[in-house]
Structure 1
Amino acid sequence: MAFLKDQLEGFVPTQIQKEIIKGITKGSTLLKLSKVQPMESDKKKIPVLVDGPGAYWVGESERINTSEVRYIHPELEAKKIGVIIPVTKEKLNDTTINVFSELRTEIEKAFYTTIDGAGLFGINSPFKKSLFGSAETSGNLIANGTGGTFDIDVSNAMALVEDAGLDVTGFAGHRGIKNTLRTLRDTNGNQIYVSGVSQNELYGFPVEFSSNGGFDKTKADLILGNFDYSLVGIREGLKYEILKEATLQGHVMGDGKPLSLAENDMIAIKATMRLGFLPIKEDAFAAITPKVDKQD
């Protein structure tokens, strides 16, 4: 059984690593809706069918025409994402599995919040595109209230994706929009938004709500689209490193100074993983932007 003091850096044990990755996937709106691929290296080309084979009417003894199948090969590039968690020095005497079991929730939340912020809105993102940015570039933005009611706004935004020849497969929103969705009714008084035990649905498609920090509600109330065109690649391996003498600028102590591990007799655990993200069709996404208050 490995103790943290005997192995100050390396990979998180496989059994707990799988649980952490599972927790990150469960907590991330982007990962739940997107097409997720494993990555064996830092770059991976993924074949995406653009034009499929067609069928033809054929007369007796006539030659059957052949049709071209066309693929594009977008490349995912994995980028490093990391979190640093200060802990007491006593953790060095615990087993590696126990330490990461205790820190699992903090690691998962830090990762999935950052992943959602980057993929949905480009917040502190190493990637060139985001889903909201794709919708904005395509002009697929509908302001909340322009259709009279929110359900009409959503339908109009869906139509923008459908005009591109695609179907909407899901929605991503912030938790503050839940009440608006719960009040939606069709002409027969039936709920349009259905809150289920295993899945929430709007117009029959899944709705996922991102955690605070992962969704910029100043820019959008909902992001919707065909998430088959939102590619995420997860590079195998969750690494860690024990820091003993660093000064952590992001952790401010009661005296207003950054946390100095040596001075405060603490250590910090840095956990990192690699992940790639790419929206491969910008017009596959649309967004409902917040209401603009009218000026008197």
Structure 2
Amino acid sequence: MADEKFLKDELKGFVPTPTAADIIRDVTRGSTVLKLGNVQPMTTETKKFPVMVSGPGAYWVGETERIKTDVAKWIFPEITAKKIGVIVPCSKEKLEDATIDVFAEIRPYIAEAFYKAIDAACLFGTNSPFTKSIYSSASDSGAIINEGTNDKLDLDISDVMALVEANGLDVNGFAAGYALKNSLRKLRDSNGNQLYVTGVDTQTLYSQPIEFSRTGAWDAKKARAIAADWKYAIVGVRDEITYEVLREATLQSVTMEDGNPLSLAENDMVAIKATMRIGFLPVKDGAFAVLAPKAGA
């Protein structure tokens, strides 16, 4: 095609729109926070999001009596989008390929790196640019229970849910690490029915969706599971992904067979640096509660 662009001629810029949209969809499918949270589009670096923290009341009214008025309480937290980046090494021959084909091939690697970093930062504050994480929000409100508080895991989880419910909120989903799956499969109610149910597209616990965060994102030392009213976990997503081709860099995080870092020039390779912008803020501490590992574990 006459308008086809090749990587060697387009060494930096925006990832082609269709592929960028595919990458963002892959990130959303892989990220626990993006699947459960309140995801909002961002077109600028900062954005204020209206959040109603208490609604208007209704009153019983007698004949000819004036109806009382009440005002809903709103807050307008401001979220700032932060840059997240990944570098994917590839052969120098990729420079001869069409830009859209290159990104279609490395798309899974970009998406996986993004969603692991997003979950780690938003859930636990790991390497995070954000002021708060879901774990720190629960910690600030004292909403943490250790596994083993009761003699059964399902009762521990119920108590964690109660911490959210005590604030007048409903748990509408769970996040957990993969290590919890085996324990959940063994849970039964008093009639012998499974409490943890797996379907074709959904997994539920206490009839609420549960998402398992990928290995590398979940901090098993801090939490076994998180129960939350996830509409108070606001995630702002900018729909553009930028890229830059690196040809001379040394990648300290990539070790070659000789034990030395990858030098793109010496190893006759290139690397593609992709970046996107994400904003995050848990806006209500009482909306999050954590089931922590057993004391002393």
For residues 248-287 of structure 1, give each alpha carbon's deviation from its aligned partner in whole angstroms, at most 9, with x where no partner exists: 1111112222111111111100000000000001111111
Q: Which residue of 2 aligns with 1:143?
A: 146
Q: CA deviation at 1:236?
A: 2.3
For residues 44-90 of structure 1, give each alpha carbon's deviation from its aligned partner in whole angstroms, at most 9, with x where no partner exists: 10001122122111122121111112210011110000000111110
Q: Secondary structure at the match of 2:188?
A: coil
For residues 156-198 of structure 1, give each alpha carbon's deviation from its aligned partner in whole angstroms, at most 9, with x where no partner exists: 0100100011000110001111010010011111111101111
1:188 corresponds, among 181, 191, 208, to 191
1:8 corresponds, among 2, 7, 11, to 11
Alignment partner of 1:218 is 2:235: no
Q: Which residue of 2 aligns with 1:62?
A: 65
Cα distance in 1 for partners of 2:73, 2:292 equals 35
Q: Please list, as runs of the form range in 1=range in 2, the aligned pairs for 1:109-124 lying within 5 A after superposition.
A: 109-124=112-127
Alignment partner of 1:105 is 2:84: no
Unaligned runs of 5+ in 2: none
Q: Secondary structure at the match of 2:169?
A: coil
TM-score (norm 1): 0.98
Q: Secondary structure at the match of 1:223?
A: strand
Q: Structure 2 counterpart of 1:126, which letter?
A: P
Aligned length: 294
Q: Secondary structure at the match of 1:237?
A: coil
Q: Structure 2 counterpart of 1:71, which letter?
A: W
Q: Which residue of 2 aligns with 1:281?
A: 284
Asked if the contact 2:50–2:75 (Cα under 8 Å) also holds between the matched residues in 1, the reply is: yes
Asked if the contact 2:41–2:239 (Cα under 8 Å) also holds between the matched residues in 1, the reply is: yes
Q: Please list, as runs of the form range in 1=range in 2, the aligned pairs for 1:203-214 lying within 5 A after superposition.
A: 203-214=206-217
2:86 corresponds, among 63, 72, 83, to 83
Cα distance in 2 for partners of 1:235, 1:212 equals 25
Cα distance in 1 for partners of 2:54, 2:89 equals 51
TM-score (norm 2): 0.97
Q: Please list, as runs of the form range in 1=range in 2, the aligned pairs for 1:21-100 lying within 5 A after superposition.
A: 21-100=24-103
Aligned residues: percent identity?
Answer: 57
Q: Secondary structure at the match of 2:170?
A: coil
Q: Structure 1 counterpart of 2:220, which letter?
A: K
1:178 corresponds, among 165, 176, 181, to 181
Q: Secondary structure at the match of 1:160?
A: helix
Cα distance in 1 for partners of 2:237, 2:296 equals 41
Q: Which residue of 1 aligns with 2:254?
A: 251
Q: Structure 2 counterpart of 1:265, which letter?
A: D
Unaligned runs of 5+ in 1: none
Cα distance in 1 for partners of 2:186, 2:296 equals 21
Q: Structure 2 counterpart of 1:91, which letter?
A: K
